[in-house]
Chains A and B, each alone.
Chain A
Amino acid sequence: MPDTPIRPSAWGGLTTILDTPLKRQVAIAVILMAMIVAPLLFGQYATVILTNALLYVVLALGLNIVVGYAGLLDLGFAAFFAVGAYTVGIATLNFGLNFWLALPLAVFFAIIAGIIIGTPTLRLRSDYLAIVTLGFGEIVRLAARNLRETGGASGLSGIESPWLFGWHISTPLDFYYVFCVLAIIAVVVSVRLANSRLGRAWLYVRHDEDAAEAMGIDRVKVKLAAYVVGAVYGAIGGAFFAANLGAISPNSFSFQQSVLILMAVILGGMGKIPGVILGAFIVILAPELLRDFGDLRLFIFAVGLLLIMLFRPSGIWPAKSRTGARR
């Protein structure tokens, strides 16, 4: 038997700094204020980048549930992202559905996709899981590329931006605030999940599958739940991504995209929500900040990644003593 898993805090040690309700409320208020005023201070380009970073927060938090909570390596997360984006694209363009009707449809298809991907992989150990998820990711991308219903390689364009109670969500600033709300919901749901029965089951399965099973946890169901929840995150991110850009093509759902999301999860410190958020901001902001280096920017970004991993192998977010650097 391994050591008993300690219940980790999804906040990754933040609770030891923000130890009173007052401090927490102040912190939340400061962050909310920062989120609201940031685009007004920094202008349109920054708004676009921050929107993208918030999208990545949602996606990375979704993948974090699969990888960080349940311990399943997923190299094809972009598949769920694609399912969400294409469902919205096809439903609004071909069937004339309203965005808000297409959104639950996207979630529905993502759940189906999560089950399809999850079911055959449940018996597999992590490295095999890696290739199967990678394979599914590629299958989804290639299908989107080959099928005429998905617009082939050129993808879909002219996706209408949605209306909400008479508010036409259309400018970059509108979408920034929409993604702010999405990111906040994503964080809250992630925290709730981590503290739920399911969250504890994930922890046990991740820590020792066989022991968990012996303790009466149905690991098949528990893993599947992780996939499905992760898929829903991905699909919602994808749906709003499609609405925001108005145009989607298979290029956006490549293996590299899956890798970037995974980097966000691990770079900051997987399993820890502030770490994942930090990771998402780094993978989006760093290449942008390096734009002036031209074709060297990804090279510098990669060297930076390498250095971060070498100096902080468990991710940037500090692993506090109580929550422990485990595994």
Chain B
Amino acid sequence: MGFIDIFSQQLVNGIVLGSFYALVALGYTMVFGVVKLLNFAHGDLYMVGGFAGFLILSFLSPFIGPGWFGVAVSMVFAMIAVGILGVVIERVAYAPMLSAPRLSILITALAVSLVLQNGMLTITKGQYVPFGSALGFGGVNLGSLFISYNQMILVGVSIALMAGLEIFVSRTQYGRAMRAVSVDKDMSRLLGINVNRVIAGTFFLGTGLAAAAGTMAGAYYGSLWYFMGFLIGLKAFTAAVIGGIGSIPGAMLGGLILGLLESFGTQLPGVGSEWKDVFSFSVLILVLVFKPTGLLGKPEQERM
């Protein structure tokens, strides 16, 4: 493999990985935007989304097959189911806390994360679950550069979801309400916006995106695990902060940047896979030192 081949292959790897990070980071950033909560359970909702997609697919695959079509249909159902779970969690665990000290909500979120993780540990007896989809191995070879059809579909679906979200937030009435709530909750309420409904809707969308990512990851990589949300939750949080937490385009950009940092970091001599996370975190800290609110974040006054 020549330099160009390696470079372009790592570029592809970084974009695929980055689109997963971006999808999960979006939920982080949207929830943060409207309720100023770092939802540490978000990665675990990705995990639950993966299991939900798997369960739905195993019911549906006799009718619609275990290929991409089946996965896509299951993904939609998983998004709805887990989206509802997200709203329920918001209602039960976060809504009563919104006037409490911010750190208390953070601990609540961490507790929700532990509940989801350990609940799934008990259900699955800790076992890895093979996803059981049949996506095939085909792809396009350009010289020694290889892009699989699966990767193209994944990135395509991610872009479609993100574009859909962007249109929803910027063009619809509901999206406008969401933006209003994220700027000033009390003012929005005075202007007649149903703030609670907007918050619920935001959780639904954010969680749904995580579930979509979870289902796609399960189908693409081939296995599910009760602990699989932890690492990606951490990475998505990082991505959201790099982009500027609270900013939707920021989350997409942050996800992409983190994905590329990791793939190129793996290849860099002196960094390698062993040090790639240290590399990414160092870049994150540098970004924040020079741009304290992330790349696309707006400066804001806030206190704990």
A residues at B contact (CB < 8 Å): 67, 71, 73, 120-121, 123-128, 130-132, 134-136, 138-139, 142-143, 146, 206, 208-209, 255, 259, 262-263, 266-267, 270, 295-296, 298-299, 301-303, 305-306, 309-310, 313-315, 327
Question: Given A266-B107, A310-B93 in contact, is the A298-B118 Cβ separation under 8 Å?
Answer: yes
Q: Are A313 and B104 in contact (CB under 8 A)?
A: yes
Q: Are B97 and A310 in contact (CB under 8 A)?
A: yes
Chain B residues with a Cβ closer than 8 Å to the other chain, count: 49
Q: Which of B108, B110, B293 contacts A128 (CB 8 A)?
A: B293
- Chain A interface mostly helix, strand, loop or mixed? helix
Over the window 97-141 of chain B, the binary record of Cβ atoms lying under 8 Å from chain A Cβ atoms (1 yes, 0 no) is 101111110111011101101110110011000000000000000
Taking CB as reference atom, which chain B residue is nearest A296? B122
Q: Which of A71, A263, A301, A305 contacts B304 (CB 8 A)?
A: A71
Over the window 66-102 of chain B, the binary record of Cβ atoms lying under 8 Å from chain A Cβ atoms (1 yes, 0 no) is 0000000000000000000000000001001101111
- Which of B195-203, B204-212, B282-290 faces chain A? B282-290
Q: Are B118 and A310 in contact (CB under 8 A)?
A: no
Q: Does B294 touch A at the CB level, under 8 Å?
A: yes
Q: Does B303 touch A at the CB level, under 8 Å?
A: yes
Chain A positions within 8 Å of B182 at CB level: none
Over the window 256-284 of chain B, the binary record of Cβ atoms lying under 8 Å from chain A Cβ atoms (1 yes, 0 no) is 00000000000000000011011001101
Question: Given A126-B304, A306-B108 in contact, is the A298-B293 Cβ separation under 8 Å?
Answer: no
- Report which residue of B107, B117, B304 has the largest number of chain A beta carbons within 10 angstroms of its beta carbon: B107
Q: Are A299 and B104 in contact (CB under 8 A)?
A: no
Chain A positions within 8 Å of B175 at CB level: none
B residues at A contact (CB < 8 Å): 32, 36, 38, 93, 96-97, 99-104, 106-108, 110-112, 114-115, 117-119, 121-122, 125-126, 234, 237-238, 241, 245, 274-275, 277-278, 281-282, 284-285, 288-289, 292-294, 300, 302-304
Q: Are A146 and B275 in contact (CB under 8 A)?
A: yes
Q: Which of B96, B100, B277, B304 contacts A138 (CB 8 A)?
A: B277
Q: Are A303 and B101 in contact (CB under 8 A)?
A: no
In the complex, A299 Cα to B120 Cα: how many Å? 9
Q: Are A309 and B288 in contact (CB under 8 A)?
A: no
- Please give the distance in Å from A133's CB to the nearest CB on chain B: 10
Taking CB as reference atom, which chain B residue is nearest A270? B103
- Report which residue of A71, A136, A313 has the largest number of chain B beta carbons within 10 angstroms of its beta carbon: A313
Chain B positions within 8 Å of A313 at CB level: 96-97, 99-101, 104
A–B Cβ pairs within 8 angstroms, 14 of them: A73-B106, A120-B288, A128-B293, A135-B238, A138-B281, A142-B275, A267-B107, A296-B118, A303-B111, A305-B107, A306-B112, A309-B104, A310-B93, A313-B100
Q: Which of A128, A306, A314 contacts B115 (CB 8 A)?
A: A306
Chain B positions within 8 Å of A71 at CB level: 303-304
Chain A positions within 8 Å of B125 at CB level: 295
Chain B positions within 8 Å of A139 at CB level: 278, 281-282
Q: Are B97 and A120 in contact (CB under 8 A)?
A: no
